[in-house]
Chains A and B, each alone.
Chain A
């Protein structure tokens, strides 16, 4: 077990390098809006996002809670792998945290196929995390197909941003 987490830490180092060659869109989508309420700021407690919040997770993985896919594909490429390794490291550190992986597709697909494709993408991300040692019971999946785009244009750049799997903290 110790070895595995050590390995993740090492991999996380390469993640930062891999991020440079990421095929992802130039503009990262805004963080998901459904962040849980932040802890009230008191005079004594340190400020900043609290453990268990989406914001804390996104900060800790340096925005790599989202991975991106090519058209009609669901394979985990090197950039995705690096991001997922960072997520796995976080989940290894905070073992009480559970996540949902939301699978999405771009608008240039038929509705039902896109629902199935989003589910396939979410599961590809989940399986990768499980392969890195995260307990499968801590990860649920949901597909939104093309129903929840973050980029609203009808062009290649927008579609690239929308073909994604987003990890969201649920507790």
Chain B
């Protein structure tokens, strides 16, 4: 009898933790590290190459890039592809082709329309073959199964007219992470040709939506930047909203109604455990990380009044950063961590404000008619993306001083911009009028290249993480 009582007591004590975790799926196994490997230089110095600079992506749309299948020295089956490393090499080239094409930057031709180079040709391209096809740039690469079970990928970019190598790099990855090698190669090509920072090797957290408008099921989900490796993290019994990856990808913050009230949880991806962002019975919203991952911003409503708070990510006491009677919510750090742009209706309508990281010097920056919501500071520091509400909801950018407003999209309701790691592309979600259906979209800073990112079900609240460590 006593034993039963003890068990019962233990169950009671465990109940809150259980309740807190009951909407979570199993822990997600994260891939291993990607190791950059030297690939032996074939005599030539890889300096030189393109001499012009890029100011507008549209100039690049006509640049032909040939991406034939990666070659292999020995065709063997691996956990990455049971059909062998040759088949894997073709898949890698397909991923790179899709990356470069989907972002509207280049005119890539993939492996299915091109001859297959031999392993020896990877370092000594058959120039006549490629110039004859009108290719201006040529991507070559190889796949090798290593003795330790990992895979070695080499990636080379050649200028066909110059008959010269522009850049090369190699990576060693566990078989499960083969797509990361394809993204690393895409980043290498993109960066070398545009002079911009990389962004393909990154992940996106978002909310997967199913069901009718009045009974929407909203689940936390993650995927690679190209939509691959898609996983649901919550089961859907509780509404999940507004995720944010930590800069090191080890944790995810998001809002969940798992205990019946809106609360921000910090979810540890490795252990599958989650904790409340703050031990308070007040509702908490709008989680944000500082760029170095040391601080968390959250917004908390006390007696109906919402303000922004900052707490050390490792635990500690919260500091209240705003104290107006209006709704102060959100917050996005400048890349150097010194300033925060946030949203407040203290003036009577939603507008964007900038303050010091400690809450000082709060100043409104949006003065262009309409409302300014969900501001997000570019990782480059030079722009702030936001939802402009002026009749419709549209993704817009302005300078950190609130100047040079540019409206980039024209949907009925486009909201919640999130930046690619290099600050060149903005992702957001678009809601359809009446049906309430949602989807993720991307637009570049010119506003010309807009595309829908395919997801298994409807999607909202995207949060693009930084380049993977």
Contact = CB atoms under 8 A, between A and B. Distances in A.
B213 A152 contact: yes
B410 to A, nearest CB: 17
Given A110-B387, A148-B214, 13 more contacts: A72-B345, A107-B436, A110-B415, A111-B241, A111-B242, A116-B306, A116-B327, A120-B327, A126-B304, A142-B260, A152-B212, A152-B213, A152-B436
Main secondary structure of the interface of A (DSSP, over half): mixed
A74 B348 CA distance: 12
Interface string A5-42: 00000000000000000000000000000000000000
B214 A111 contact: no
22 contacts: A74-B304, A110-B387, A110-B393, A110-B415, A110-B416, A111-B242, A111-B461, A112-B285, A112-B374, A113-B329, A113-B345, A115-B285, A119-B306, A123-B303, A123-B304, A126-B304, A147-B241, A149-B214, A152-B213, A152-B434, A154-B434, A154-B436
Nearest to B213: A152
Contacts of B350: 110, 113
A41 B172 CA distance: 72
Contacts of B416: 110-111
A122 B303 CA distance: 9
Given A116-B327, A120-B304, A147 B216 contact: yes
Contacts of A147: 216, 218, 239, 241
Contact of B301 (A110, A119, A153): A119
A122 to B, nearest CB: 7
Given A72-B345, A113-B329, A113-B343, A124 B285 contact: no
Interface of B: 212-214, 216, 218, 239, 241-242, 255, 260-262, 283, 285-286, 299, 301, 303-306, 327, 329-330, 343, 345, 349-350, 373-374, 387, 389, 393, 413, 415-416, 431, 433-434, 436, 460-461
A39 to B, nearest CB: 25
B330 A112 contact: yes
Contact of A142 (B216, B262, B286, B436): B262
A85 interface: no
A119 B416 CA distance: 20
A150 B416 CA distance: 24
Main secondary structure of the interface of B (DSSP, over half): strand
Interface string A138-167: 000111010111101110000000000000
A142 B283 contact: yes
Contacts of B461: 111
A144 to B, nearest CB: 8
Nearest to A117: B327
A93 to B, nearest CB: 27
A112 B431 contact: no
Given A120-B327, A142-B260, A110 B373 contact: yes
Contacts of B374: 110, 112
A72 B214 CA distance: 21
Nearest to A152: B213
Given A72-B345, A113-B343, A152-B436, A119 B373 contact: no
B428 to A, nearest CB: 11
A143 B284 CA distance: 11
A38 to B, nearest CB: 23
A143 B214 contact: no
Given A72-B345, A119-B306, A113 B373 contact: yes
A116 B261 contact: no
A158 to B, nearest CB: 9
Identify the 5 closest CB pairs spanning chains A and B, nearest first.
Answer: A123-B304, A116-B306, A119-B301, A110-B373, A154-B433
Nearest to A124: B304
B381 to A, nearest CB: 23
A161 to B, nearest CB: 12
A164 B35 CA distance: 55
A110 B389 CA distance: 9
B414 to A, nearest CB: 11
B143 to A, nearest CB: 43
A159 to B, nearest CB: 12
B205 to A, nearest CB: 15
A3 to B, nearest CB: 27
Given A116-B306, A122-B304, A111 B415 contact: yes
A171 to B, nearest CB: 15
Nearest to A151: B214
